[in-house]
Structure 1
């Protein structure tokens, strides 16, 4: 049973990526809320929606493109990937998170 699940995720990395990001975003929000206050399920739904609609898709394609631009696992290559990621993707994804969640609150 477990090997079938793992094989399905490996065969469909896009689906596992979307499910993974959505689960991580929702789980992180629930943990943060449980530490600070009570649970607001609407907020968790908004955070999960932003993870599902934007972050999962963006990161899936961004990381594949980054690997094509800078293939390899050497120290210099990985350092280059991190620098490019932090200069380009980090500002976009952080902005998308805050803007996306805020837009969902006002609608």
Structure 2
């Protein structure tokens, strides 16, 4: 564990990018293993690509920016960080997931999944991510926060992949 920590501290961007992307792709494999008869590696590659190109980069820079804006801990700062995370990052990352995969799949309407599933995802995410990010900001050193988010994204991405595979849509005004 000491070597992994030293590597993370020496190369935080690369370590966070690789770690986050691997966890993102693992979530898709896990979801497919539970939901289907096998793994569609093409689908997993698309999820990994969205994870690498957007989610890992966004989360790395977003979490660093939050720490610069509101350095340190304490109840007030952690609450502000969580609130900003839910108001800014959550809609961006959920949207990137649904729209990014739809674009990679060349869907005729790349906003269809987003329109039908965004609000369900967002409301569920507010509960899940508020708790997880509070733990992240309170207990995890800034250098390891993106990898921590990647780890807890494993569960979240399994949920999103499952929701995305559902044929129903929930329409809100």
Considering the TM-score relative to the shorter chain, is it more than 0.5? yes
2:73 matched to which residue of 1? 73
Give the Cα separation in 2 of the matches to 1:96 and 1:13: 23
Partner deviation per Cα, 1:22-63 (whole Å, 9 max, x = no partner): 111100000000000021100000000001111111111111
Aligned runs of 1:77-92 on 2, under 5 Å? 77-92=77-92
For structure 2, the 5+ residue unaligned runs are: 108-173
SS at match of 2:7: helix
- Give the aligned CA root-mean-square deviation in angstroms: 1.4
| Residue aligning to 1:6 | 5
Structure 1 ranges of 4+ moved more than 3 A: 2-6
TM-score normalized with structure 2 length? 0.58
Greater length-normalized contact order (CA 8 Å, ≥ 6 residues apart): 2
**TM-score, normalised relative to structure 1:** 0.92
Q: Match of 1:95, SS?
A: helix
Aligned to 2:53: 53
* Number of residue pairs aligned between Structure 1 and Structure 2: 106
Q: How far is 1:5 from its partner?
A: 4.3
Query: Which segment drifts farther, 2-11 or 61-70?
Result: 2-11
Larger % of helix: which?
A: 1
CA distance in 2 between counterparts of 1:91 and 1:18 reads 21
Gaps of 5+ in 1: none
| Structure-2 separation of matches of 1:58 and 1:82 | 16
Cα distance in structure 1, aligned partners of 2:8 and 2:84: 28
